[in-house]
Amino acid sequence: MSYLDELNEIQRKAVEHVEGPLMIIAGPGSGKTRVLTYRIAHLMDLGVDPFNILSLTFTNKAAREMKARIEKVTGPEARNLYMGTFHSVFARLLRYYAEKLGFPSNFSIYDTQDSRNLIKNIIKEKGLNDKFYKPSIVHNRISNAKNQLITAKAYASHMMLTTEDELSGRSKIKDVYLEYANRCFKAGAMDFDDLLLNMYELLCKYPDVLYKLQHQFLFVMIDEFQDTNVAQYEIVRKLSAVHQNIGVVGDDAQSIYGFRGATIQNILNFERDYPELKVYKLEQNYRSTKGIVKIANEVIKKNTGQLEKTIWTDNPQGDKIRLLKAASDNDEAKKIADNIHEEQLRNHYKNKDFAILYRTNAQSRAMEDALRRRNIPYTVYGGMSFYQRKEVKDLLSYLRVIVNPKDEEALRRVINYPTRGIGNTTMQKVTIIANEQNKTLWEVLKNAQSYGFTNRVVKVVHAFITMIESFSTSLDKKDAYTIAAGIAKESGLQPSLYDDKTVEGISRFENFQELLNSIKEFVTADEEGALGTEAIDKSLGSYLQQVSLLTDQDDKNKKDEAVKLMTIHAAKGLEFPVVYVVGLEEELFPSRLSISSREGIEEERRLFYVAITRAEKKLHLSYAACRFRFGKLVYCEPSRFIDEIAPFGIEFVGLVAKAQKSNSSKGYSNIYSSKNKQKKTVARPPIDSNFKADDTTGLQVGAKVQHQRFGVGNVLDIEGNKPNIIATIAFKDIGQKRILLRFAKLQILEA
């Protein structure tokens, strides 16, 4: 059977489109990846050389999976495709043409932490107030500028940007950006954003390079097009300008990365840029039940800025969507953990079938506590990346210095670790000399004796330089693992970690060994991952490029047999039989940072749409009447998104079900509002002016207490950690109350 026979009618038309601009609008669960991979396979079947096809994705994982699928159809020729993430493909091209831009071909790639460390040093050197010039804020500002193709020099003369900085009290950002760009250039380093900016600069400044690449890449395909930023789109427009065989796949309704610089306008205005565009809409959903698809459509149709489409499915109707109102965030988490346990018993779901999605990482705490109490295994996506652990970054930094001694951030990290007597005072002096003479730190260190350093410092610096250079000279002779294993021992890193026999120390040593294992796997891998005609490059430089370009999606915890906890942003592209979307409250979801503009609200609504469409069979929504935020207990209003979906096949559970029964004729908004509380008129004891509260630090379950207003009650439960301990108390006259002890005034009648 031909692979084309696996496609529905509209999918097949999209796959068989050959020449001219193409846009495939792919709704959730509509077979997007299959269409994208089969189109590339079809081009190859028609005789297009894979060397002439450029396919860009957002994760290395997606690129690997797509290439593997294509290879099943076309055979080993698929290995010759230029397929990868924007950053990995552009990094490869930039290494080939780096010298045209004044960079070495083995330039370092700074990750976010490297960039922020360098910015932090620049802020300190310039004597700026780090309360205003926080490295993260400055870095984000620089990053956003680069994604808009604004260089440091252009930024400094950009009236609107510099005026914004002045109004925010950060008028010197332009100076920090200029110095940052200069230091990266001097260090032979590019950050992630530079891989885009410099690629664009290369195409603009060197017409011969542009001409060559335009005639090499006859077909250009872009996955997740709605997530592209200005720089990415402008680069691919240039590359495809001659033949105009540009094909994009995406869904404007899933554009959720505006905070990273992605612009939904790229996909909304694509037809304006290409009037001859052919559009195919993949509207059949193969993933979710009819009930879930219906809710998703109702959500997204509220947005004004979108491409028209209606998602449908032939799947069964399925269960109603459940909406839970909980008393608090802890109550919400407990009920979800209970429901997971119930689903496992009744419907035989496995742990891996469940996902709990939230708007902010901080929401995971309550969920984790509840799952632990239930002994339900879970894993949190978005924790510290393996490659961000200190012991891992230490060895990687040594390897970066071996490949590129001018790499300032890596050099600073390893110069005195393990301790060798090159302290902060020495490095401050080295930095001052380097800045004054416009030299690199490495150049100053190599000539330490001529700059008046003490004999002791000169001796230890010379030993360090000699060690690094001895490994650098073997870069062309030895593979990545041989060099890494050697520097691990000779630098003292491996022995120092091995000697630490604490639990934490053993864990760090295991991580260190795991990194060496990964390098060993890299050099012993077969040719399957080859890009283009060349055999696998097993050099240290090649390995470092691969590691530098790993995306968040590539480094997820692979504990399959566990409930998954993650932000909705991290869940994009994934699917689960049972999904819980929690924290549907105003100023949480939608975020308080987004409710001041239509664009912000519409992106939050798209985020809700993404959350809903992760579910295959069952969808649970929930919100809390109160939760802890920034250390304080706050009362919450239900999200506006609940009102938007309430009339469409929802089953009410928990407190909201009770409200529904007593308010069935009063409208949905009245049901959800936390202001709509059924109050009892009860006789409360008068306030005693002589009432004196006791210290409740050691309050235990079973204690009998008296509250100034609520009267006498018994303590049923104690939960939480200091200072946010909550007691559940059953009062004789008014029933149960959950009270935050640090604010409550209680007399302990019986301990």
Looking at residue 230, its amino acid is V
Q: How many CA atoms lie within 13 A of 457 on its CB side?
A: 20
Question: Which of 59, 148, 254, 440 is the catalytic position?
Answer: 254
- Note whether 416 and 423 are within 8 A (CB): yes
Classify residue 325 by its DSSP letter: E
**Phi, psi of 362, rounded to the nearest 5 degrees:** -60, -25
Q: Which of 552, 579, 548 is nearest to 563 (CA)?
A: 579
Is 79 among the residues known to form the active site?
A: no
Name the burial class of residue 237, with classes exposed (0-12), middle (13-18) and buried (19+) by CB atoms within 10 angstroms of its CB.
middle
Tokens 């350093």 belong to residue: 453
Q: Which of 600, 523, 609, 10 is nearest to 252 (CA)?
A: 609
Helix (H) or strand (E) holding 60: helix 60-74
- Note whether 261 and 288 are within 8 A (CB): no
Question: Which of 111, 223, 409, 603 is the catalytic position?
Answer: 223
Question: Which of 111, 191, 194, 224 is the catalytic position?
Answer: 224
Q: Which of 405, 449, 410, 403 is nearest to 430 (CA)?
A: 449
Separation of alpha carbons 277 and 270, rounded Å? 8
Taking CB atoms within 8 Å and a gap of at least 24, the contacts of 135-143 are: 137/170, 138/170, 138/173, 138/176, 139/112, 139/115, 141/165, 141/170, 141/173, 141/177, 142/173, 142/176, 142/177, 142/180, 142/193, 143/191, 143/193, 143/261
Question: Which of 334, 359, 614, 617 is the catalytic position?
Answer: 614
- Note whether 371 and 354 are within 8 A (CB): no
Q: Could you tell me whether strands 219-222 and 53-57 are parallel, antiparallel, or unpaired per DSSP bridges?
A: parallel
Classify residue 571 by its DSSP letter: H
- Note whether 101 and 190 are within 8 A (CB): no
CA distances from 652 to 146, 256, 410, 588, 678 (A): 47, 28, 55, 21, 17
Looking at residue 417, its amino acid is Y
Is 95 among the residues known to form the active site?
A: no
- Note whether 608 and 585 are within 8 A (CB): no
Separation of alpha carbons 429 and 553, rounded Å? 41
Separation of alpha carbons 174 and 157, rounded Å? 9
The sign of the torsion formed by the CA atoms of 594, 600, 605, 611 equals: negative
* Degrees, nearest 5: CA angle 241-42-68: 100
Tokens 């988490």 belong to residue: 333
Is 684 among the residues known to form the active site?
A: no
Question: Which of 12, 13, 33, 100 is the catalytic position?
Answer: 33
Is 254 among the residues known to form the active site?
A: yes
Is 33 among the residues known to form the active site?
A: yes
Tell me the catalytic residues: 32-33, 223-224, 254, 614
